[in-house]
Structure 1
Amino acid sequence: MSTYSKKLLYISRHKEAGATLLEILIAVLILSFGTLGMAALQARALKGNASSFQRTQAVMLTYYMMDAMRVDKDSAKSLNYNTGTLNANGTINGSICNPASISGTALSDVNKKHWTESIKNNLGISSDSTSCGAIYCDSNGNCRVQVIWDDTRSGGLGAQTIETRSRL
Structure 2
Amino acid sequence: MRHPVLPTHLLQQARHYSPKKGTQRGVSLIEILIAVLVLAVGLLGVAALQANALKTNQSAVARSQAAMLAYLILDAMRANRDAAASGAYNLGSLDNPACTAPTASNLATSDQAYWLGKLKENLGDAACGAIRCTTASTATTCTVRIRWDDSRAGGSDTQRFDVATRL
- For normalisation by structure 2, the TM-score amounts to 0.83
For residues 42-86 of structure 1, give each alpha carbon's deviation from its aligned partner in whole angstroms, at most 9, with x where no partner exists. Answer: 11111111110000000111111111100010001110111145x
Structure 1 residue 137 corresponds to structure 2 residue 133: yes
The answer to whether the 8 A contact 1:83-1:94 is kept is: no
Structure 1 residue 39 corresponds to structure 2 residue 47: yes
Secondary structure, aligned partner of 1:95: coil
The RMSD of aligned alpha carbons is 1.7
Partner Cα distance (1:76, 1:113) in 2: 15
- Structure number with greater CO (CA < 8 Å, separation at least 6) is 1
Q: Which amino acid aligns with 2:57?
A: N
Q: What is the 5 A alignment of 1:126-165? A: 128=125, 130-139=126-135, 140-165=139-164
Shift of 1:11: 4.2
Partner of 2:85: 77
Partner of 1:62: 70
Partner of 1:95: 97
Gaps of 5+ in 2: 1-15
Partner of 1:106: 106
Partner of 2:118: 118
Partner Cα distance (1:104, 1:44) in 2: 42
Partner of 2:4: none
- For normalisation by structure 1, the TM-score amounts to 0.82
Structure 1 residue 53 corresponds to structure 2 residue 70: no
Aligned length: 148
The partner residue of 2:20 within 7, 10, 30 is: 10
Partner Cα distance (1:54, 1:104) in 2: 27
Gaps of 5+ in 1: 1-5, 86-91
The answer to whether the 8 A contact 1:82-1:137 is kept is: yes
